[in-house]
Structure 1
Amino acid sequence: MAEYIRRWACLLLVLFPFTSHADPVAFPLRVSENHRYLEDASGKPFLVTGDAAWSLIGELSREEADKYLADRQKRGFNTILVSLIEHRFSRNAPRNFYDRDPFLAKGDFSRPNDAYFDDADFILQKAQERGFLVLLVPSYLGAGGGDEGWYKEMEAAGPAALKSYGRYLGQRFRKYKNIVWVQGGDYNPPDHVLVNAVAEGLAETNPEALQTVHGSPDTDIQRMWAEAKWLSFDTIYTYDEVEDKALERYTSNAKTPFLFIEGAYEGEHDSTEQSLREIAYGALLGGACGQIFGNNPIWHFSGPGLFDAKDSWEAALGSRGAQSISYLKQFFDALPWWKLEPEQGRLLVDPDTLFPGTAFGSMSKDGSLAVIYVSGRSDVAINSAVLAPHAKRVRWYDPASGKYTDAAEQKTQRRETVTFEVPAAQNAAGYTDWLLVFEDRG
């Protein structure tokens, strides 16, 4: 019997090597006092580590949805991005797995179908039980305001019906303290009145809930939605260099945290596991309060997507991209990450001119903690003068395997400049990215 149990335990470790033992989150979340990150109700910093699951409610059965949530929980994800009502990216849109429409009449926001929202309620309850933050999109607009989303129906419905819909959602789902409402969706409408109506209705019946916006790529959300009193924090959505966009947002907006909400997904845009890691670490080390990973086909599950998918969503759960995010979460969980700020030239010595490849990083104000991400480089040079004297533990972290190795410094001819060679030409997955970590040895 003991041998049988041991074998099952070993099998579980093989299947789920990233099983999370994170402390429970005290929802609801709030903006930290310094406006740089989110924290839970007890004041514990919350690093958004999310997965794009846009079609979760519209496409999957209750049992399938819980299977997905169980997998993401075991891999260390703590957030999901979901559409409450699906317009195109599910097999029977806008009807759900159980053939229930979100409205009693087609596109009539003033007449929500309780049976549909009962199914959504089940999934949201499971997400809450598993400790997920749910970034919930009440009415995805769709790229260009077209047929991928609900914008045309919203125009036809008008502000009064949309505000009624917002009130309905706020009242129905206010029992879930783990929901943050995400307005918009791949589009910046020329007139904000329709989105405002939904958001204001939500705020009337659930005033404690945070709200944000998913706009078109490269939108300055704070500027675009400056009049929105309901806007709680900022987002970034870009296919450009994420670390540059994050640093730009960090230096231009000190009023609210910002979340990296979307970029290139795994299985799309010729992404690789290294490019996906560079996106995720670029966002966090650039000052973002979290990042959302995406995978094709998982974002749309078995429904239609925008690109061909190689695998089923079940087969994609253990993708290399998902594993990389698990190692990212493991890495930051071991650090007081909320103390990090983009180094902005203080630590890295000529990061873009002396060497090929990429290097960017963050450090704490007191110099006791620093993290540098490098890719395509054989070494990196740092200014040791800005580090605290006790920040003497220096290690390399392999973001493809989650393993550390000690780092050996090499003096240069320049005063107070120290170089560190990467542990090997390639990491465990055959790519060229590494993280260099400086910590207080105590």
Structure 2
Amino acid sequence: MRQPTIYLFIVLFHLGYHTSVGQLHISPGKHYIEEAGRPFLWIGDTAWELFHKLSREDAKYYLKTRAKQGFTVIQAVLLAEQDGLRTPNYYGDLPLYDFDPKKPNEAYFEHVDTIINMARELGLYLAILPTWADKVKSDRPGKGPVVFNTDNAYVYGRFLGTRYANSPVVWMLGGDRNVLNDSVKAIWAQMAKGLQAEGKHAKLITYHPAGESSSSQWFHQASWLGFNSYQTGHAYPYFPVYKFAARDYALQPIKPVIDAEPAYEDIPIRFWEFIDWTGKERVPPHILDDKKLIKDKNFFKYGYFSDYDVRVHAYWNFLSGACGYTYGHHAIWQFFSANDTFDIPCLQEWKASLKRPGAASMLPLKKILTARNFAQLIPDNSLILGKNNNDSTYLCAARAEGNSFALVYAARGQQFTINSTIFSGKLIAHWYRPKDGYIIPIPLSKGSQLLTFVPPTSGKNHDWLLVLDVEEANLPSLSSSFP
């Protein structure tokens, strides 16, 4: 660890500003985030250990890959989960002196500065967690240690808010923990106050809770909370993420909402049932190969989340009111390399995981939600006639404000019927395959108000999106939007 530099309460170093990204904000009464007055589509990636574990060269490689794949936001942590206060970063620097949030190490944050500037040049925003929440008292202790109180949380928040006042940053408090009590709630509130002390330069703030929880449970009425985040977690496929989106979408005052941590691609389903959190070995050594990768896949008996699971949760979220979705890959959030330490073992190393099919499907998601403006979407399952089960066959529908188009997602390629009476004018229909953006025109029967649609294929891994357009709306042609 380098020798300490004199800590200034007001940091004199400010990052430069690049026109490739602007600043994000919320307009009152809107269900989405804006950039320069335009709706901002949050397609996130989970990179919790980015600042802690990667060299600058690897960070650049990672960020360039994600930018090419259509991602717009990268989520990362300053005081990291994997023993981030005791284990130094790639360059040998710890973030704090004496475990004191009032004593940040300049060398560590210069490394953070460099990565933020890399992201800026690539047009990416960073959703930064000031700390993983195991550094704050909770009902689920981690490696910690617990170092925050109301006093130093404000000071640390102000240090960050000042340093990154002109950076492409969104603040995400929390870190996989719910709020234990009012005293803990006050600590997070003071950190938020410090982050926003810069006034007009203050960034958006949200809160990342534990699985199957939302920031709205504690902070929806807080003036500092710009938008809500929920974590739908890693419990099982076809998790009803649409219930979380719908609940927060309906809250007053209106605040946008994102799924900040759905099921990660390639993570073992319900992994916590098979991990020894207290023993020397997290899993029996014989299930791992000589690189500490999983060789006995059957050890995790529920299997692993797939690219299909990723797509189901993404489309269910967006068509139920969310304005953002954060993809995650199990090897990438912890940037696991051969023989590295791990919290939960992986199937692949992180570089080999960058182009997994779930990540590749984020670009088709981005393309369709740009061609059919996601900011106009109003969740409306009343379009679908008949019973809609809350299971793998759940159908999710949304229409545009003004009824110029509608989207219906069939997770298992199931048949459904639409009541088209709300649309005025001639309708044009296409099937859109979320896996790769493949498009198939659908001939429609003239004069019929009840339209039945049968996707080209059906069953697990055969999800389809119906795109239903009013011809007179002159929407962008899907064929020309997807060369």
- The answer to whether the 8 Å contact 1:89/1:300 transfers is no
Which residue of the partner structure matches residue 359 of structure 1?
Answer: 395
1:61 lines up with 2:55 in the alignment:
yes
Partner of residue 344, structure 1: 381
Structure 1 segment 98-109 matched on structure 2, within 5 A: 98-105=91-98, 107-109=99-101
Structure 2 segments unaligned to the other structure (5+ residues) = 1-18, 234-238, 270-303, 475-483
Deviation of the 1:372 alpha carbon? 0.5
Contact conserved, 2:212 with 2:230, CA < 8 A, in 1? Answer: yes
Distance 1:131 1:252, change over 3 A: same
Match of 1:216 in 2: 210
Matched with 1:416 is 449
The alpha carbon displacement at 1:357 in A equals 2.1
Q: Deviations over 1:152-177 (max 9, x none)?
A: 122xxx3222221111111111121x
Alignment of structure 1 residues 354-393 onto 2, 5 Å = 357-390=393-426, 392-393=427-428
Q: Are the counterparts in 1 of residues 264 and 330 from structure 2 also a CA contact under 8 Å? A: yes
CA distance in 2: counterparts of 1:377 and 1:184, whole angstroms: 37
Change (3 A) 1:417 1:226: closer
CA distance in 2, matches of 1:383, 1:193: 49
Among 172, 176, 182, the alignment partner of 2:172 is 182
Query: Structure 1 residues 162 and 94 mapped into 2: Cα distance closer, same or farther (>3 Å)?
Result: farther
Shift of 1:400: 1.2
**Cα–Cα, structure 1 residues 247 and 305, in superposed 2: closer, same or farther, change >3 Å?**
farther
2:440 is equivalent to residue 397 of structure 1: no
Q: Where does structure 1 lack aligned partners over 5 or more consecutive residues?
A: 1-23
Q: CA deviation at 1:275?
A: 1.5
> Which amino acid letter does the alignment assign opposite residue 335 of structure 1?
R
Q: How far did residue 144 of structure 1 move?
A: 3.7
- How far apart, in 1, do the equivalents of 2:94 and 2:248 lie? 39
1:200-215 superposed matches below 5 A: 200-205=193-198, 207-215=201-209
Q: Select which of 166, 173, 194 maps to 2:157.
A: 166
Among 328, 344, 356, the residue aligned to 1:307: 344
Shift of residue 76, structure 1, vs aligned partner: 0.5
2:256 matches 1:257: yes
Whole-angstrom distance in 1 between the partners of 2:341 and 2:171: 24
Distance 2:213 2:69 in 1: 31
Is the contact made by 1:55 and 1:89 (CA closer than 8 Å) also made in structure 2? no
**What is the CA–CA distance in structure 2 between the aligned matches of 1:264 and 1:228, rounded to whole Å?**
28
TM-score (norm 2): 0.79
Equivalent residue, structure 2, for 1:18: none
State the partner residue of 2:79: 85
Q: 1:234 to 1:366 in 2, by over 3 A?
A: same
Task: Determine the structure 2 residue equivalent to 1:275.
Answer: 309
Pick from 190, 211, 225 the counterpart of residue 197 of structure 1: 190
- Between 1:233-242 and 1:114-123, the stretch displaced more is 233-242
Task: Determine which of 97, 101, 122 is the counterpart of 2:114.
Answer: 122
Counterpart amino acid of residue 105 in structure 2: N
Tell me the CA shift for residue 225 of structure 1: 1.8
TM-score, with normalisation over the residues of structure 1? 0.85
**Following TM superposition, by how much is the alpha carbon of 1:222 offset from its aligned partner in structure 2, in angstroms?**
2.8
Name the structure 2 match of 1:17.
none
1:131-142 pair list within 5 angstroms: 131-142=123-134
Q: CA separation of 1:175/1:252 partners in 2, compared to 1, >3 Å: closer, same or farther?
A: closer
Helix, strand or coil at the partner of 2:31: coil
Of 442, 459, 464, the residue aligned with 1:407 is 442
Alignment of 1:311-350 (within 5 A): 311-345=348-382, 347-350=383-386
| Structure 1 counterpart SS, 2:331 | coil
- 1:167–1:201 contact (8 Å) kept in structure 2: yes
Check whether the contact 2:21–2:120 (CA below 8 A) recurs between aligned residues: no
Q: Percent identity?
A: 29
Shift of 1:255: 1.8
How far apart are 1:367 and its partner, in Å?
Answer: 1.7
Paired residues of 1:411 and 1:419 also in contact (CA < 8 A): no
Does the 8 A contact of 2:220 with 2:228 survive in 1? no
Q: Alpha-carbon deviations, 1:57-115, whole Å to 9, x = none?
A: 0010011001000000000101011101214167x95411111010122x111111001
CA contact (8 A) 1:83 1:139 kept: yes
Change (3 A) 1:318 1:49: same
The alignment of Structure 1 onto Structure 2 pairs a total of residues equal to: 404
Aligned partners of 1:278 and 1:186: how far apart in 2? 22
Whole-angstrom CA distance in 1 between matches of 2:214 and 2:347? 34
Alignment of 1:284-299 (within 5 A): 284-299=318-333
Distance, in Å, in 1 between the alignment partners of 2:110 and 2:252 is 39
- Alignment RMSD: 2.4
Structure 1 residues 439 and 254, CA gap change in structure 2 (3 angstroms):
farther
Amino acid at match of 1:425: S
Mapped contact 1:48–1:78 kept (Cα < 8 A) = yes
